[in-house]
Homo-oligomer: A and B are copies of this chain.
Amino acid sequence: MRLILPIVCLLLASTIHAAEAPPLQRATLGDLQLESGEILRGANITYRTAGTLNADRSNAVLFPTWFTGTAEQLFAFDATGLVDTSRFFLIAVDALANGASSSPSNSSQQPGLDFPTVTIADMVNAQHRMLTDILDIAHLHAVIGISMGGMQTFEWITAYPDFMDKAVSIVGAPRLAPYDLLLWNTQLAALELAERCDCQQEDALAVAGLLNLLAIQTPEYLAREFPRERTDELVQQGRAGGAAMNIHDRAAQLRSMLAHDVSDSYGGAMEQAAEAVIADLLVVTSLQDRAVSPEPALEFAELADADVIELENDCGHMALFCAPPETRAEISGFLEQP
């Protein structure tokens, strides 16, 4: 039963009662130049912090959000527990288009379909602006992220290689594998069906939620936790999970993940992207992950001579939440090494 709560919570983001999340803060960036050449008008980035920034402003750890996730959720799931806030200044940051930072759902100047395409690089560039221009932080101790947060981590270490000492990607990727591309294109196709006609959004989001639930765990996990008689309950959980996010926000983040490829800035050469990395890198993958296949991250890890933790349990993409405490301690320990 131990994973039902996380899965439900992850998918029912809006219903989580996260009493322990620190207050939301907002960095107003003004107009933001995007990779596409378009301008994101009146961009702002929201975040929540824990711990204390030290005198030389050198102990900040940036923790960007996963797909559909919020900084509030990072605390609710105790993902942030990986970072010792007695030592580090934790900045849990909302990725663009997550409904908290600038998003199709909250932009007054470019709402809904008028919101420009944002990439993983745009998310990271906005975070870089927030850190340097607003928070006066010129260097991070570390970047750590899970899933799409891990994708942002790979972008950070290749786009701003000298900006951090350490980096941890957990079930993330420098780019998606072919299977993942098909998976997320399928979810996008379901959303675009309703995005274009501005109709049946609830039903399309239900399909997206079901697809997420299907992708983030394994058949073995479902067989153990959801015997046949609980199928209706399982299906309802999937449908409800989709309802937790605005359709345009969800589609925007899907497009970001689909376009993500850190080798793009290196002429398509992943070897060169990996060679550019300066930070100590820890790559955590799940061998049974069918939401973000482990291979691209493992290949990058080898190219970059990174540390690797390969999780092997039947929780798939959710493997961190099924891993023993020792695994979390190993990740935390990596961040604390001198």
Contacts and interface: CB of A to CB of B under 8 A. Distances in A.
Interface of A: 175, 177-183, 185-186, 189-190, 192-194, 197, 199-200, 203-204, 206-207, 210-211, 213-214, 218-219, 222-223, 226-228, 230-231, 234-235, 238-239, 261, 290, 293, 295
A193 B186 contact: no
6 contacts: A180-B219, A185-B235, A189-B203, A193-B194, A199-B199, A219-B290
A289 to B, nearest CB: 9
B193 A231 contact: no
Give how many copies assemble into the complex: 2
Contacts of A207: 186, 189-190, 193, 207
B193 A211 contact: no
Contacts of A185: 210, 231, 235, 238
Contacts of A218: 179
Contacts of A214: 179, 182-183, 186
A184 to B, nearest CB: 10
Contacts of A180: 219
Contacts of A239: 189
Given A219-B293, A223-B177, A295-B223, A193 B182 contact: no
A238 B182 contact: yes
